[in-house]
Amino acid sequence: MQSVSTAIPFVDLTLQHQPIQPHIDQAIRTVIERGDYVLGQAVVEFEQAFAKACGTAFGVGVACGTDAIALGLQACGIGSGDEVILPANTFVATLIGVLRAGATPVLVDCDPKTALLDLGAAEKAVTPRTRAIVPVHLYGQMVSPTLLRDLANTYDLIIFEDAAQAHLAQREGFRAGSIGVAAAFSFYPSKNLGALGDGGIVVTQDDAIAAKLRSLRNYGAPRKYFHVDYGTNSRLDSMQAAVLSVKLPYLEEWNRDRLRIAEQYNALLKPLNSKGLLPIQNQSGKGHVYHLYVIRAFQNTPTGDLICPIDRDLLHDRLNAQGIQTGIHYPLPCHLQPAFKNLGYRAGDFPIAELLCQEIISLPMYPGLTEEHVIQVMGTIEEALATPSAIQLSA
């Protein structure tokens, strides 16, 4: 493969926005004409449409994905004195959401093949105080619904899904958001379904939880000037809801495009597997929606033979120098973040999560990425591997 000099961004939202821009403009104008900027008609319409797409009865829009986790857990009755199990390998918003709900987070390690929550480790972490488990459907792949439900049923746990990266993902006949009591989604612009700013939603089958959420997001008031909860101001903006409603009908097509790109990456990456580059394993087939396409730079081959160890950071820098933007999701696990040292965790507590932080790199992934771009990315990686001294770990 020969590389060319075309710059490839990590994410390019213009490719999905340009064809539908007139519809986005009209949706925004409609909100302006109505003048219902806060909790307006656009919010109600989007909440209903998104909940239906997830296979749930109710959706409650909030200001961001972090609020969706925090307020969602509160609406489920989780608070002070309750332990909540979650993976160490996640964005800090998951952990912050648990803390903001007033609960005690209990971190566990992840599966080395999928980077998802290790359900075996989660089971060992259950105590009499454990009330809930928060599976993070990381990178666009769901935690096994069957195994998750078995665990929750055995120990009488609430399942609250963090589906911020898994819009319309599927596994074992379930759609993300439909496994547990409730689920949180983020509409950060780069998500599979992204707003033009921040936004989030909680979906649920439970009308009481939905009603509680509507109160919590609006100063604890189920109706104006009547406050029954210690709530906050966290409302999905009408403008953002209108934009999301325009984009929602295209989401399945965009997810299929992501799957196509991932399959191209997989095919081109296969010859490099023996050199220690492998993708995070897909155990969901076509149900994986690939918010991110993540590979691992191993120091051993799949058969256990030692190879020239690849320095992930040097590979990252080499690709960026060639105009190919990449990401690292995430460079430091939650338990080693300075903000959470008071939780008492230390280096070595979650070895798989810590190892992944040293090995993973996310390649460009977005609807509209062409086959030629994928070939260019992989060609640049091949060239880097052909000169191992440029990306090799020091002895």
**Calpha distance 374→268 (Å, rounded):** 9
Alpha-carbon dihedral sign for residues 74, 76, 77, 81: negative
From edge to edge, which strands make up the β-sheet containing 360-363? 277-279, 293-297, 360-363
Q: How many CB atoms lie within 10 A of CB 392?
A: 15
Q: How many CB atoms lie within 10 A of CB 206?
A: 16
Q: How far is CA 391 from CA 6, 269, 365, 394, in A?
A: 22, 17, 23, 9
The catalytic position among 52, 113, 124, 191 is 191
Listed in sequence order, the residues at least 6 apart from 313 whose beta carbon sits closer than 8 Å to its beta carbon are none
**Calpha distance 389→315 (Å, rounded):** 11
**Calpha distance 177→185 (Å, rounded):** 8
Closest by alpha carbon to 205, among 350, 334, 76?
76
Q: Is 341 a catalytic residue?
A: no
Q: Of all residues in the chain, what percent are helix, strand and coil, respectively (each to 5)?
A: 45, 15, 40
Structural contact between residues 122 and 97, judged by C-beta atoms closer than 8 angstroms: no
Closest by alpha carbon to 334, among 79, 98, 101, 123?
98
Residues identified as active-site: 191
